[in-house]
């Protein structure tokens, strides 16, 4: 699991993995921790969010390494999950374009609609068609070739996608809890204000919004954890192919 900045931790994803017996190897880039050279022995790959740009190495020294790991994860059909920046990296690793969103930053709680394909998706099936999520991004991406759009809204069509039944990118944050929201607002207050919002409004909305987000958070985190727990680790012979 790759964590780029302190506020954007794994939260519910990490908790679900541990509860299902998965040993989480958390690499905190902001602490200077190095990434693994390969994915031998791993059962999944999770890439969290951050303020960096997928299109530039500036302030993002691990960008190319992360893209290489994601490309390899796709080749190996490793259960892969990208959140926010992680979704953009996954889209880029799958050959798609990432760029500044024409509608400007999308920050705060909002609603996404589940596409018809979501009802056939392992992570999202059986959820209600409209879901409250936390948005915190300025960039967006084109849908990778072969990917299925799973969630959308009026501002940005590509809010979530699935690829080959084993990789998912979520532009929004579904993993958050109260501590996460407080950390986001504290760390990125300037972004909130620049987007025309009041940080206090996001904090005031948090209890009710997180209640509406709960089913999505728990289902996606749990189902992904189950998928990882059941996956057979990549062995050396496969990794050499």
Distance of alpha carbon 21 from alpha carbon 148, whole angstroms: 30
Residue range 151-172, pLDDT digits in tens = 999 999 999 999 999 999 999 9
Q: What is the pTM of this model?
A: 0.95
Question: pLDDT-derived band of residue 239, with 50, 70 and 90 as boundaries?
Answer: very low
Residue ranges and CATH numbers for the domains of the chain are 2-239 (3.40.50.880)
Distance of alpha carbon 143 from alpha carbon 155, whole angstroms: 15
| In the predicted structure, residue 233 carries a pLDDT above the cut 80 | no
User: pLDDT value at position 73?
Assistant: 97
Mean pLDDT of 183-198: 96
Question: pLDDT-derived band of residue 236, with 50, 70 and 90 as boundaries?
Answer: low
Distance of alpha carbon 182 from alpha carbon 196, whole angstroms: 18
| In the predicted structure, residue 97 carries a pLDDT above the cut 70 | yes
Helix (H), strand (E) at residue 152? strand 148-152
| In the predicted structure, residue 127 carries a pLDDT above the cut 60 | yes
Task: Give the other-Cβ count within 10 Å of 61's Cβ.
Answer: 11
| In the predicted structure, residue 121 carries a pLDDT above the cut 90 | yes
């Amino acid at each position: 699991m790759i964590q780029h900045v302190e506020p954007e931790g794994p939260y519910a994803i990490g908790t679900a993995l541990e509860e299902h017996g998965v040993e989480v190897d958390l690499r905190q880039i902001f602490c200077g921790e190095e990434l693994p050279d390969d994915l031998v022995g791993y059962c999944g790959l999770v890439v969290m969010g951050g303020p960096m740009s997928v299109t530039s190495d500036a302030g993002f020294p691990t960008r190319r390494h992360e893209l290489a790991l994601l490309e390899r994860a796709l080749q190996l059909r490793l259960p892969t999950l990208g959140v926010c920046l992680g979704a953009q990296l996954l889209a880029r690793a799958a050959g798609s374009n990432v760029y500044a969103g024409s509608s400007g930053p999308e920050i705060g709680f909002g609603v996404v609609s589940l596409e018809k394909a979501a009802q056939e998706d392992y992570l999202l099936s059986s959820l209600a068609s409209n879901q409250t999520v936390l948005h915190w991004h300025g960039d967006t991406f084109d849908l990778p070739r072969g990917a299925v759009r799973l969630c959308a809204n009026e501002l940005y069509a590509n809010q979530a996608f699935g690829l080959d039944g084993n990789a998912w990118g979520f532009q929004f944050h579904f993993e958050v809890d109260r501590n996460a929201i407080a950390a986001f607002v504290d760390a990125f207050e300037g972004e909130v204000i620049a987007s025309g919002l009041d940080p206090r409004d996001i904090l005031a909305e948090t209890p009710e919004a997180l209640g509406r987000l709960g089913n999505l958070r728990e289902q996606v985190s749990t189902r992904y954890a189950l998928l990882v727990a059941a996956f057979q680790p990549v062995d050396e012979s496969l990794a050499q192919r």
